[in-house]
Amino acid sequence: MSATEPNHDYRRFAILYVDDEVAALRQLPQALEDEFRFYTAENAEEGLKILHEHLDDIGLVLSDQQMPGMKGAQFLERVRQLRPRITRMLVTAHSDLQAAIDSVNRGAIYRYLDKPWEMEPLSRELRRGLEYFMVQRERDALLREKLSALHRMVITDRVLSLGVLAAGLGHHVRNAMSAVRTFLDLAPEMLGRESLDLGQLQHPAFWHDFHGKVQQRVSMVVDLLDDLSKHAGPGGFQFDSVVRLNEVIDQVVALQKPELESLGVEIQNNVPADLPSLKVDGGRFQRLFELLFKDQYTNLQKGGRIVCNARHLPQEPGRSAEVEIRVSDNGPGLPSDAIRSVFDPFFVRSGDPQTFGVCLMAVYFLVYHHGGRIQVESAPGGGLSFQINIPVEPPVVEDPEKGNDFLARVMTNERLWERLLSQP
């Protein structure tokens, strides 16, 4: 191999060699075993079985054309259907024009090789075939990463914009609700001053219960708006608390125990105690889980369960050390189109709009300002699963004006978007 060729690990992915000649099956792997890994099969049916068993381990399929039963071109067509990205090569000792045409048209092969072969040219072709497969995989991974980053950017921009709007409107709504709450607080006393005998009312229990429920709902709305206003902006975050995740969750569960017991919902804390400590804004980090659990258990039926798991993700190039947290419930779940709106402030998960989506929007802000990421998906078997990634070390707090200016420039830079979408 020349010094200018790329440095690839050709043993990272195996080669599946299918040939009815037993001697060839033995000789080729022996000759090239120092450079490649091989699976071998004497016919197409056996080759398909091996392919199913090692689908993620095979990067190239080399098949003879003239075999009993299924021919090589047909076999490679089946391989293409199972895993289109696998590099496919057809080899034959016969000059068969129709086989070459079929292998190209049906199997979309990468190379058509003749027997007998010389090992050095064959080795070169196998290297190129595996390089082609690995480059495709890397390209697909980069594309998925770009689309994922683009999706997160759009979601973040949407949530931040809605948060600014909701927090601004919330200021005015909170003032109005505070006036209503003041009226409700003063109503019993003022009725007493008016010398009105409350015992003479036809339904005193109704008015008493109704007054209490209205007060409860007003307080709930005011508290939600306070949460949103407090957590929407980056100001005031102090990352001066060193906490252990399992202990924070235990504290939140103990705090919410009365409400959980009244609803018949259980929170199971499976977070390992040996995870790295996190440097966070202590009060707001705990509030994150209070709001997340509240949104989940208010949408669960009696017997519902919320399970918390976590793992440490060590530092890698381009990413700091993180703790990945997964909080899943066994509720009814949501369709995929609804999941995209779950952080909207007026989104309702169930038919009982007690908290709308304000809790989850506040959770999004808390995760965002801790330098983390949050995403939601339908859990296997039903329910929702929230994945939260929090850096072990706190983020560098940026000037909010600079952050907003950067986001505005990104969202309006057409040339940047064209480059993001056009690059392979």
Tell me whether residue 293 is in a domain. yes
Tell me what pLDDT residue 37 has: 93
Tell me whether residue 106 is in a domain. yes
Boundary (domain end) residue, out of 117, 132, 167: 117
Tell me whether residue 102 is in a domain. yes
| pLDDT higher than 50, residue 392 | yes
Tell me what pLDDT residue 416 has: 44
| pLDDT higher than 70, residue 420 | no
Burial (CB count <10 Å: 0-12, 13-18, 19+), residue 377: middle
Half-sphere exposure (CA, 13 Å, Cβ side) for 339?
Answer: 15
| pLDDT higher than 60, residue 376 | yes
Q: What is the CATH number of the domain that holds 77?
A: 3.40.50.2300
| pLDDT higher than 80, residue 272 | yes
Q: Which two tokens stand for residue 356?
A: 């709308």
Residue 311 structural domain = 236-424
Split at pLDDT 50, 70, 90, the class of 203 is low
Q: What is the mean pLDDT of residues 270-279?
A: 94
Q: What is the CATH number of the domain that holds 381?
A: 3.30.565.10
Tell me what pLDDT residue 97 has: 57
| 103, 246: one domain | no
Tell me what pLDDT residue 1 has: 45
| 111, 242: one domain | no
Q: What is the mean pLDDT of residues 56-72?
A: 89
CA distance 139 to 134: 9
Tell me whether residue 231 is in a domain. no
Q: What is the mean pLDDT of residues 17-31?
A: 89
Boundary (domain end) residue, out of 91, 117, 143: 117
CA distance 252 to 381: 26
Tell me what pLDDT residue 18 has: 93
- List, for residues 316-349, the tens digit of each pLDDT value: 766 788 999 999 998 887 777 677 677 765 566 6
Tell me what pLDDT residue 171 has: 55
Distance of CA 188 to the CA centre of its chain: 51
| pLDDT higher than 70, residue 360 | yes
| 264, 411: one domain | yes
Boundary (domain end) residue, out of 117, 135, 154: 117
Tell me what pLDDT residue 157 has: 58
Among 386, 397, 360, 374, smallest CA distance to 281 is for 397
- List, for residues 80-102, the tens digit of each pLDDT value: 888 888 999 988 766 565 555 55
- Find which of 167-171, 200-204, 215-219, 386-390 is predicted with most confidence, using mean pLDDT: 386-390
| pLDDT higher than 60, residue 168 | no
| pLDDT higher than 50, residue 3 | no
Residue 320: which H helix or E strand, with range?
Answer: none
Tell me what pLDDT residue 223 has: 65
| pLDDT higher than 90, residue 251 | yes
Tell me what pLDDT residue 314 has: 86
Percent of the chain at pLDDT > 90 equals: 27
Tell me what pLDDT residue 410 has: 45
Tell me what pLDDT residue 147 has: 61
| 110, 240: one domain | no
Query: Within a 10 A sphere around the Cβ of 374, how many other Cβ atoms?
Result: 23
| pLDDT higher than 90, residue 46 | yes
Report the number of distinct structural domains present in the chain: 2
Q: Which two tokens stand for residue 128?
A: 């190129």
